[in-house]
Amino acid sequence: MKNLFLILLINCLFLGCTQNQVTEEICKKEGKIYKVNKVLNLRSGNYEDKAQCI
């Protein structure tokens, strides 16, 4: 039981590390506008594309 709890706890911690991909099709289904912005990644110092539904 103790091992099961530990495994579940570790899995919950890593759920936030998954990438949530926003696609143009998902935005159209929701009736929103798909927009891509260049955002500065403070860790690497490089600009990255960030997609979002507005």
pLDDT digits (tens, 9 = 90+) for 7-37: 888 877 777 665 678 889 989 999 999 999 9
Burial-class residue 53 by CB neighbours within 10 Å (0-12, 13-18, 19+): middle
Range 10-19, long-range pairs (CB < 8 A, 24+ positions):
none
- Distance (Å, rounded) from C-alpha 11 to C-alpha 22? 23
Q: What is the pTM of this model?
A: 0.54
3-7, 30-34, 41-45: segment of lowest average pLDDT: 3-7
pLDDT given at position 28: 92
How many Å from the N-terminal Cα to the C-terminal Cα in the chain? 45
42: pLDDT confidence band, cut at 50, 70 and 90?
Answer: very high
pLDDT at 5 over 90: no
